Chains A and B, each alone.
Chain A
Amino acid sequence: MPQVRINGEVVVNFDGSSPNLLQFLEQQQQTVNYQCREGFCGACRCKLLSGQVSYLQEPLAFVRRGEFLPCCSIPKTDIELEIPK
């Protein structure tokens, strides 16, 4: 079960009860900006500080190195992420 560290503080296990990382973050009461929830608008962009995610569907939105879209991904390894303020 991969561990998710959020904003350098909270560490939670990704137990598979959420279909993707965006829903997972919302369940942890984190505020993440979002729009399409399908990977084409890019509004939910977060920083991936360490670890890897795998995409459920390839995002259409532009994703820079070091960033990822939580709406269409799940953690592949333990990850550390930062939600932009």
Chain B
Amino acid sequence: MGGSKLIFSGKLSKFLFVFAIFFAFLAPVSHGFAQQNIIAEQRPIIDSLKKQTADLSGQMAKASTSDEELADLRLQMEGVTKKLLGVGLAFRPRLTEINARLEQLGPAPAQGQPAEPAIVTDERNRLTGEKAQINAMIGETEDSSVTVNQMIERIGEMRRELFTRTLSQRVDINYSLGSQVVGAAGYETQKLGRRISSWWRFVLSFKLKPFLAAAFFALAAALVLHFGARRFLGDLFLRDPTVEAPSYLSRLSAAFWSTLIPSAAVGVFLGTTYFFLDYFNVLRTDIAKMLSSLFSVIVIVYFIHRLAKAVLCSDMPNWRLVHIAPKPARVLTYLITTTALINGLDYFLNTVNQVLASPLSLTVAKSLLATVLVGLLIIAIAWVKPLEQEETGAVRPWPKALRVFLICLGLFPIVAALLGYIGLARFASQQIVVNGAFLVTMYLGFLTARAITAEQAFGSTSVGRAMQQRFGMDETSLDQLGLVAGILTNFVVLLIGVPLILLQLGFQWSELQTWFLRLMTGFQVGNFSISFTSIFTGLLLFVIGYFITRWFQNWLDGSVMARGRVDSGVRNSIRTVVGYLGLALAALVGISAAGINLSNLALVAGGLSLGIGFGLQNVVSNFVSGLILLVERPIKVGDWVEAGGVAGIVKKISVRATEVETFQRQSIIVPNSSLINDNVANWTHRNKLGRADIPIGAAYGSDPRKVHALLLDIGRSHPQVLKNPEPFVAFKGFGDSSLDFELRVFLSDISSIVLVENELRFLIVEKFAEEGIEIPFPQRDINLRVEQIEAIADAIAARKSQPKVGTGSGKGKVTAGAAKAGIAGIKI
């Protein structure tokens, strides 16, 4: 059973293989055919794009008063430019083919050269002709592209003009028209009602099923979002009322999620509703416009409401983010939501006015009312006394500067509106509300970043705990990671917040993209071109090079040299040299990748070289000495050396200095130059063999040959003394006080010299004592004259005649005789 299956699959795969090869051969052939006709193919495309360009140009002239239409036209034009570029690109394979073939054919023969076959000339002419055609067509495309781009720039100018005009336009407000406006309002409301009801009837009679389907899907989406969010994400933002003092980070996180998730849910719900209604073609254009503006208003107002609630948290003061007392917090929340609501209503009603083509006076009156209300509400916010004293709970007003700022902010739209600059007032109030919300959110993001970088904070978050479990990291590295996370959060907040604000201000997404790309990839500042991406790449390459060097060092040391049983000193040298080389290489690669032009630095370096040269003299000398040490190795790690007046074991040879540890365990850092320039005594340079010399003096009167034999015995008797070279006793000379001998023994391990010398000296003392050989103190011959002898005798007699006073307490009695003899005092 298995066997037959195998055979079957084998046959099948063979068949497929042949099939695939057949297709592979077929494809380039058909491709080639397509290539031949590329000119014919692209011609109509170019023509249609040109026509499109002309159309757009015409539309542009007509749409000079509508910002929306201009933005839409711009998007279309950007599409056209992309297509034009695509057309240019489509010619590339054919051009490459033609160029390759022309190269194969070679250049045309010069005047005096033999003629080439006609076929070749024909083909060359044909190909050159085709290439010229293609170049001409690309030229056309290029010109069209230039035209369209110029139109795009013109649109930008027009929009800016429109914007300034809107802001600076002054409407003459005639208050006597008040009653007229009220009447117009009533009329417009009726009109709106009629429109909606006509649409509704239309839907009921013709599009009931699609509408129900859309409503069903929308409801399903709503239910999914509501329960899904509650269930899966609920614990992210549910606040526990029992917790007394939640950490700042958890408060922030709760605030963030409790703002984002419900707003996103509402946004998604409304978006899907609109999408399904649109998909099922239930909407009429005017209804669609009004509905979309209504939905966006709802989302924004809801977002602001949730934001205010999250930050102020009037019902759960333990979880609030700023020190605002609960009662004022409730008032503030209400005020902020109302401001957003009025602004949103103004925006929505503006769309309605547009759709219904309402009279200008109504629009003006509505905007006037809305902006004045918004201004009043902002002033009301300034009047609230929200700040709470920590201890007493008493409430204080905002800090003076903030109050003044808020009052000015509130007065601005009011004054502008009352003076007639309705456009300006509307713009101001809209920007205050929306940008205010964005800025507050970004501020929360920055606070989060700051809280993450606080000590110990990262470790207590769920991400931090997960990383600790997974990677087993300790506190300090978690803290460092927290720092990195904080910086990343700041970046992300900026990256998301700034484009949103700019988009909202009216910039186009493609503009932002180009700016960002240009910022990242390089811009000129004077003579320098700074490019963040290349600097970042350079840094990254350097870090990678560093890690590779470390890894290579370890591998070389651990695998290659350990196996080869290379001497540890050699290993250390090779490891260090490889490290330096690798680091230098990584630095070079990094710097060249960062695009830093080293030739600019050369001038500066040339000027500084004099001072650097003098200052770094010693350091460079030490460095070079270090390299020579590594190569020549007069000393290696572990040697017992005496250099520069210090003796000890070499612990580490670095680039500038060598660390020598004395036997008192004191580390002496010896500059390398003194190891190279002066004499270095190395006990263990070639091997651990060394000679111990013990000078000993025997008193005059001892038998020198006996002493000699004795010392030789002692030397030979010690187990650690080598038999080859033999111990040797030298009769050094006739000293002032003694016969000087020296016992010289060779040891296999010179580091045990102190122990061996100790033991030998013990043996010498014992043996000399046994044999009765005296080791003399420094000797002096004293010549006494008769008078001095008599003085001594007198002193002794005097002492004998006196009772015993105590031992050793004899003071020097200067007897007459002693004085005559010139002796200061005799102690007996």
Asked whether A and B interact, the reply is: no
User: B residues near A, CB below 8 A?
Assistant: none
User: A residues near B, CB below 8 A?
Assistant: none
